[in-house]
Structure 1
Amino acid sequence: MFFWRMIGRALRRQVSKRLMIAATIMLGSCLTTSMLAVMLDVSDKVQAELGSFGANIQVLPQGASIVSDMYEVDSSASTGSLREDELPNLKTIFWAHNIEDFAPFLNVTATSGGQAVPVVGTWFDHSMTATTGEQVVTGIDNLRDWWQITGSWASGDDQVMAGSRLASQFGWQPGDTVTLATENGEVQASIAGVFQSGSDEDKQLFVPLAMAQQLAARPGEVGRVEVRAITTPNNELAERAARDPSTLSIDEWETWYCTAYVSSIAYQIDEAMSNAAAKPVRQVADTEGVILGKTQLIMSVVAIFAMVAAALGIANLVTASVMERSKEVGLMKALGARNKSIVGLILTETFAVALIGGLAGFGLGIGLAQLVGHLVFGSGITIRPIVAPLMALVILLTVVVGCLPSMRYLLRLQPAQVLHGR
């Protein structure tokens, strides 16, 4: 009881220093809380932002080869095709919920007005029922959300979308009707919109998949599938598995298979579809991991520097406070108080002040994290439950480290020197 009375009396003295300690902790914990909250939620945010890069997995028939442009396939190397009726199987794999969007593609060359037209059949906004009973809406309206469109997205079975360079070549405008012909017949379609992608897709005409299958006389067939999946950044295990999964031990294989690496998701797609070879689109998958890693590193460094600065501030303030109370401490030692009791007294005082500052900083940090989320990502930050205990541990360590210089001073203080003014 006497101990706590001493704590209460001590807190009522040196109010300005107590407030400065609380403010130092508050600022440090505010910045650290916000960085920690954003860092723990940044993976999903960065994945969403990087979705503008398009698909990060491409599924081809076995034996097909990917050429330099990820949206073109060397059809002469193909040894078959994929089955359209197997596409719902993508939502049955272990990481089905990580597959955000996917779309099939089928290339065919048609003619219009005697000129060749590169035609790409696909899904624009397609609804289907997976074998699990889940209703799935997918298509290129999400996979190509960076397209700049004049007009609108195609929505009907006879509506198509023309690339800007192709439309300029033929003089097409939204609302025009075009006739496409192959040796298998001809179809008429209405141009719903003209898009600009900044790639060779601007020279292509995108049509409903069924229309391309009709022109190519390939009912139910697909040339390739692009998949956009939420993935975990690669590590050494994922790199080894990507080269040859058979080299992994049983434990390593289970860890890899049950982690959302891009290579493990691609492997599971191979299992779910026949004659399929799913490959990560390296320039997208690798970029995601690098950007995410650097973003988390920057936030970690900022959080560490914030608490180091807070620890230095506490060290100066507590040491100054202890030096002002050196006669009081010397008298306590002269009366028989042990070093550990005095150290405990000073630490308890500092922890009490730090608790107030830490709680205020934690609340402000949550608000700052939400502000960062809305300014940078356009949405709020999901606060993980682990943030609170982690911040409590960080504040505890910061106070202990900040109090070390004053503890060293207390242990070396001699009662005779301070009481006799030496």
Structure 2
Amino acid sequence: MFFLRMIFRSFSRQFKRRLLIAVTVCLSATVSVAMLGVVFDVGDKLNAELSTYGSNIIVQPKADAVVNDLYNTGGDADSSASGTSESDPTTFLKESDVPKIKTIFWAFNITNFAPELNIHADVNCASESAASADSSSCKASGVPIVGTWFAKTLHMDSGESTVAGMNGMRSWWKLDGSWPKDDSAQGLIGTTLASKLGVAKGDTVTLYKTTADGSRNKQQIAITGIYDSGDSDNNAMYIPSFTAQVLADLPDSIDEIEVKALTTPDNDLARKASKNPNALTQDEWETWYCTAYPSSIAYQIEEVIPGSVAKQVRQVAALQGDVLQKTQAVMVLMTVLSLVAAAIAVANLMAASIGERGSELALLKAIGATDGAVSRLMLAETAVISLVGAIVGALLGSCVAQIVGHVVFGSGITMRPMVFVLVFVLLTLTVLIASFSSIRSILGLKPAEVLHGR
């Protein structure tokens, strides 16, 4: 009880000095909690933010993947649709296998996916009766047609359901109109192609396709919207996959699957596994397989989609890793600098406090207080006022983290209990280190000299 009274009396005698220590610790705690809170949550936020710019995993038939590797023709998620390839695919995956993607170990990290059947067809925007008339300005040959899902609801064997399709894969598109329905003969047309054909929202176009057996199929498509992708994809049309399969006489066939997944940035283990998973040891294999690396998710997709090769889109994956690492490094650096500044400030304030209270401390030692007792008194005083500052700083830091989350990512930051524990441990070590020089000066204090003014 006497010990506690001495502690609280010191606050009244040196209120301004103690308040400065509390404010210093409070500011350091605020910065540390805010920055570390964002650091521990920034991975998911950045992945979610960057994933809006397209898929980060592409699934293709093995034969196509081999050709792409040999001739360096793959790697772009939009290459087929944009007309980079002028020929139709010759090898396919089964559209009925696509839902299996949601059965892999990291199924909950798969946020969206969409199959594609990339073909080419002739487009005629004139009516059927005028098809033979001179309407060359309303015709186009070899137009890239992408058969895909837009917002298809899938019912899984587990009883769960999910929605997949281009509606969530092309969030950067500027769309004038509405998304087509997957069970209807509707479609989207790019701005460049629409301008060339003179097609507007609500018009109907006719697609003509010569199949492998030489027959000439046609399909009328109602245009529900005109999109602007900002690239050469504006020369294409997007229609439901079933409609494209009927047009090309390729039932249950697709040639590519775009997958959007929340992933962990690559490290040395992931890069080693991406070259040859069989080269991993058993422990390395388990760590890699059970971590959401792009390469491990791609490997698991290959396991459930027969005859497929899944590869990460290097540009997107690398961007996610680089941005995440740099952002985390900046925030950790700010945390370290705030702790260093707090240590210097607390050390100076404690040194000044001991200088002012030299006579009091000397008197305590003169009447029998040991060096340990005096040191514990000073540490207890500093600990109590630092604890108050840390609690207030933790609350303010949580608020600052939410502000950062809403300003930068448009959503709140999930504050993990580990953040508060880590900050309190770091602040404890900071205060102890800052108090070390002051404690040494107390141990060297000689009562006789101090009390006699020498």
TM-score (norm 1): 0.97
Distance 2:23 2:382 in 1: 12
Aligned to 1:330: 362
**Counterpart in 2 of 1:380?**
412
Indicate the residue corresponding to 1:84 in structure 2.
95
CA pair 417-76 structure 1, distance change in 2 beyond 3 A: farther
Aligned counterparts, 1:123-202, within 5 A: 123-155=149-181, 157-183=184-210, 184-202=216-234
C-alpha distance 75-325 of structure 1, shift in aligned 2 (>3 A): same
Deviation, 1:75, is: 8.4
Would you say the 8 A contact 2:93–2:308 is kept in 1?
A: yes
Tell me if structure 1 keeps the 8 A contact 2:76–2:313: no
Task: Give 1:79 deviation, angstroms.
Answer: 6.3
Task: State the identity as a percent.
Answer: 45
Contact in 1 for aligned 2:75/2:313 (Cα 8 Å): no
Distance 2:371 2:57 in 1: 64
Match of 1:105 in 2: 116
Query: Is residue 62–residue 79 contact of structure 1 (8 Å, CA) maintained in 2?
Result: no
Unaligned segments of structure 1, at least 5 residues: none
Does structure 1 residue 237 correspond to structure 2 residue 269? yes
Cα pair 1:92 1:132 within 8 Å, conserved = no
Q: Indicate the SS of the match to 2:218.
A: strand
Q: Deviation of residue 232 (structure 1)? A: 0.6
Indicate the larger mover: 354-363 or 386-395.
Answer: 386-395
2:375 is aligned to 343
Residue pair 2:102, 2:110 contacting (<8 A) in 1 also: yes
1:69 Cα deviation after fit: 3.4
SS in 2 for 1:104: strand
**1:23 equivalent in structure 2:** 23
SS in 2 for 1:33: helix
Cα offset for 1:132? Answer: 2.5
Alignment of 1:291-370 (within 5 A): 291-370=323-402
Q: Which runs of 4+ in 1 moved over 4 A?
A: 73-79
**8 Å contact 2:93–2:255 — kept in the other structure?**
yes
CA distance in 1, matches of 2:30, 2:366: 41
Amino acid at match of 2:159: G
Q: Is the 8 A contact 2:217 2:248 kept in 1?
A: no
SS of residue in 2 equivalent to 1:112: strand
Deviation at residue 267 of structure 1 after TM alignment? 0.2
Three-state SS of the structure 1 residue aligned to 2:264 is: coil
Give the number of aligned pairs. 422
1:92–1:131: 8 Å Cα contact kept in structure 2? Answer: no
Higher mean C-alpha displacement, 154-163 vs 269-278: 154-163
Secondary structure, in 3 states, of the residue corresponding to 1:63? helix
* Matched residue, 2:432: 400
**CA contact 1:7–1:345 (8 Å) conserved in 2:** yes
2:243 pairs, out of 186, 211, 235, with 211
Q: What is the TM-score when the length of structure 2 is the normalising length?
A: 0.90
Where 2:35 maps in the other structure, the secondary structure is helix
CA distance in 1, matches of 2:101, 2:76: 24
Counterpart of 2:116 in 1: which secondary structure? strand
1:247-326 correspondence to structure 2 within 5 Å: 247-326=279-358
User: Is there any run of 5+ residues in structure 2 with no aligned partner, and where?
Assistant: 125-138, 211-215
Paired residue for 1:52?
52
1:162 and 1:193 in contact (8 A); partners too: yes
Alpha-carbon distance in 2 for matches of 1:259, 1:372:
28
Deviations along 1:128-178, one digit per CA (max 9) or x if unpaired, are 112322211010111100001112222251111011111111111111110
Write the distance in 2 (CA, Å) between the matches of 1:225 and 1:104: 4
Say if 1:56 and 1:68 are closer, same or farther in 2 by CA, change over 3 A.
Answer: closer
- Cα distance between partner residues in 1 of 2:104 and 2:77: 24
How much has 1:48 moved relative to structure 2?
1.1
CA distance in 2, matches of 1:255, 1:118: 42
